[in-house]
Amino acid sequence: MERIAASRYLATATSVELEAIEDPEFRRLIDPAKYGAGSARQSQRSRMATTTATADYWEPLWAGGRRYREVTSTEATLFIDHVGAGRGRPALDIGTGEGSLARRLHQFGYRTTGIDFAPSAITAARSAQHGEGPTWHLMDFTADDLSALPDPAYAVVTCRLVYRWTDDKAAFLGRVRQVLAPGGTFWVVTELAGRREAGDPYCHLGMSPAEAEILTAGWSVARTADLDVLRCYALRP
């Protein structure tokens, strides 16, 4: 049972482009003989209470130094082609992490707010900023009061390498619509299932067609652009 738990833990962790799992929690799960069955059971209990939709999952990863792929110039160009420059309009980056996309939005002229529910991610975003840039807020987008955001509505809402890890996707999208200004754009970047070569240990870990269907349903415009294993979506109400 611990081994099944370990493989699920590994599947979840690797799917966010994590490198080798080095944390003791994981080792206890895969090797209860060495670390003790009691320890493994305790680890399993804490793992079951910690899904990818919680700060408890992400905080130790950020605190432990885990980082994710930066926004490349190719990805940034796709954004400009599909969404356009900011001209002082407000943008909200949900699950901003270290702020790679939020800083690009700022450069493109958006008055940008980056939010994340992992304190160490917000600390990393603040540390990576030199001079003018986005404002950063510690906030759980799915649970906190959205009226606490600095702006009542956003011309652009972005969500990069985040949507895949939310549990109630319909509820998440409902909250995005609450903060998106009329005529605004929701920009999502996510890995798609089937993009990796057969045999790649991470090949089954992208967003499924059913999850993509939930994401794209109900928008008046849904444009996509592909980037290696990723797909970018520009969605308009």
Ligand X SMILES: C[S@@+](CC[C@H](N)C(=O)[O-])C[C@H]1O[C@@H](n2cnc3c(N)ncnc32)[C@H](O)[C@@H]1O
Site for ligand X, residues 61 to 80, rule: CB under 6 A: 68
How many C-beta atoms lie closer than 10 Å to residue 114's C-beta?
A: 31
Site for ligand X, residues 130 to 159, rule: CB under 6 A: 140-142
* Closest CA relative to residue 128, chosen from 154, 100, 91: 100
Range in contact with ligand X (rule: CB under 6 A) among 34-42, 96-104, 180-188, 226-234: 96-104
Q: What's the distance, Cα to Cα, between the start and end of the chain in Å?
A: 45
Minimum separation from the CB atom of position 128 to ligand X (A): 11
Angle at 148 between CA 144 and CA 151, to 5 degrees: 130
Range in contact with ligand X (rule: CB under 6 A) among 27-35, 74-82, 112-120, 227-235: 112-120
User: Taking CB under 6 A as the rule, does residue 117 contact ligand X?
Assistant: yes
How many C-beta atoms lie closer than 10 Å to residue 178's C-beta?
A: 13
Order of all β-strands in the sheet with 180-191: 135-138, 111-116, 90-94, 154-160, 180-191, 230-236, 221-227
Q: Which is nearer to ligand X, 40 or 173 (CB)?
A: 173
User: Taking CB under 6 A as the rule, does residue 121 contact ligand X?
Assistant: yes
Q: What gap in Å lies between CA 7 and CA 5, rounded to an integer?
A: 6
Q: Which is nearer to ligand X, 84 or 119 (CB)?
A: 119
Q: Which is nearer to ligand X, 40 or 115 (CB)?
A: 115
User: Taking CB under 6 A as the rule, does residue 108 contact ligand X?
Assistant: no
User: Taking CB under 6 A as the rule, does residue 186 contact ligand X?
Assistant: no
Phi, psi angle pair for 117, to nearest 5°: -95, 0
The contact set with ligand X (CB under 6 A) reads 16, 58, 68, 95-98, 100-101, 115-118, 121, 140-142, 160-162, 165
